Structure 1
Amino acid sequence: MKQDERKCDLCQAGDNVKSYEVPPASGISILVCDTCLAQIDRKAELDSNHWKCLSDAMWSEVPGVQIVAWRMLHRLKHESWAMDNLDMMYLDDEALALAKATGDHENDAAVELHRDCNGQVLQSGDTVVLTKSLDVKGSTLNAKMGTVVKNIRLVENNTEQIEGKIEGQVIVILTKYVRKQGS
């Protein structure tokens, strides 16, 4: 298959499609677009309209597609159409065991993202402004309210913290004390 003919196995989008190994490390992989991947990995808010594509994808004969469709439908089970699809969907015992293996089906659609004091989503590389003067622990540095911090980094596994450089020092800053510049 040519590169330009590759499509997302879930939503059929043709842009930026890449291989995704279906966890747990089972050797099963599918092709997914950036939009699907970000939502599968909980790096973007779950868009229920985007996932209506599962009404078709869930009938795929590819086990990896079935597993991901089942997990995503469970994350969307507050939507009536998703519950209807789950009621109709069939997985053989092996695929069902793999689908349940990560426990992802027990989680809701909630996504934890780094957000500033106004609720704006922060991303690595963003520029933020301090909304409060902060004393930096272990240092004599006092970061004044209004200080601009460029090119921030997100602290992995802690959505309440970012890293930024102030006066040449890399410090950890609580997201509740920053405002994304331009918001």
Structure 2
Amino acid sequence: MSVKDTLMARSGGRCELCGSEKELSVLEVQPSDGSAEKSILVCRVCREQIEDPSEMDPNHWHCLNESMWSTEPAVQVTAYRLLKRLAPTEGWAQDLLDMLYLEPEVQAWAEAEEQGVPEREPTRDSNGTILQEGDSVTIIKDLDVKGAGFTAKRGTVVKNIHLTDNPEQIEGRVNGVKIVLLSKFLKKA
């Protein structure tokens, strides 16, 4: 049985991300060994947007609300990576990412660098300590929060931070509001 036949049987002949039944093809989830376990069945629309991020339509990806709960690790990894890509600009994507739980080995696969993607500069706090996704940090200076009408006070602990594409910034919740903070004003807690 071919990989495509296996995936067609597994998915019931539907895109494993959005549920479409049209123009289906096999997408290997990197790093891949070419097996059905490391591949998913996707429609043309999903494939084009995965392969060319500049063409991503955030509204199309609301389907991840359901597909991220798939029992298939390859689907979970793809949903995680897409949500990570959407999270900086789409609040709903970050909310879904916050809810998503992956088994440790699936999480490691999801976070594995894709081939050909250069390694990102690490995010460092004011002391030069490398910050990781989910760390807690302390604000070391009173910061005016533009647009929110409050000041993030020195000594405030920000838990479960989210790293952004910019190594000088992190996202976190202060006073219940998700804001972007400059890492030079933070200290790892």
TM-score class, shorter-chain normalisation, is 0.5 to 0.7
Could you tell me the TM-score, scaled by structure 2's length? 0.51
Corresponding position of 1:90: 101
Q: How does 1:39-118 map to 2 (within 5 A)?
A: 39-42=49-52, 45-77=55-87, 78-102=89-113
Q: Which runs of 4+ in 1 moved over 3 A?
A: none
Shift of 1:42: 1.3
Deviation sequence 1:2-46 (CA, Å, 0-9, x none): 7xx511000000100111111112431110001101111116611
Q: Supply the AA of the counterpart residue of 1:96.
A: Q
- Separation of aligned partners in 2, 1:98 and 1:43: 20
Larger Rg: 1
Q: Supply the AA of the counterpart residue of 2:102.
A: L
Shift of 1:102: 2.4
- Separation of aligned partners in 2, 1:23 and 1:83: 22
SS of structure 1 residue aligned to 2:27: strand
Q: Supply the AA of the counterpart residue of 1:59.
A: W
Q: Which of 24, 27, 31 is matched with 2:31 structurally?
A: 24
Deviation sequence 1:107-158 (CA, Å, 0-9, x none): 9xxxxxxxxxxxxxxxxxxxxxxxxxxxxxxxxxxxxxxxxxxxxxxxxxxx
Q: Supply the AA of the counterpart residue of 2:41.
A: L
Report if the CA contact (8 A) 1:71-1:99 is conserved: yes
Higher helix share: 2
Q: Supply the AA of the counterpart residue of 2:20.
A: A
Q: Supply the AA of the counterpart residue of 1:74.
A: K
- Separation of aligned partners in 1, 2:16 and 2:104: 22
Q: How many residues align?
A: 104
Report if the CA contact (8 A) 1:74-1:86 is conserved: yes
Deviation sequence 1:63-104 (CA, Å, 0-9, x none): 010000000000000201101100100011111111111257
Corresponding position of 1:152: none
Report if the CA contact (8 A) 1:10-1:69 is conserved: yes
Q: Which of 14, 19, 26 is matched with 1:12 structurally?
A: 19
| Percent identity for Structure 1 against Structure 2 | 45
Q: Which 5+ residue runs of structure 2 have no aligned equivalent?
A: 1-7, 121-189
Report if the CA contact (8 A) 2:32-2:39 is conserved: no
SS of structure 1 residue aligned to 2:69: coil
Report if the CA contact (8 A) 1:7-1:13 is conserved: yes
Q: Which 5+ residue runs of structure 1 have no aligned equivalent?
A: 108-183
Report if the CA contact (8 A) 2:29-2:39 is conserved: yes
SS of structure 2 residue aligned to 1:31: strand
Q: Supply the AA of the counterpart residue of 1:39.
A: Q
> Judging changes above 3 Å, is the alpha-carbon distance between structure 1 residues 71 and 43 closer, same or farther for their aligned structure 2 residues?
closer
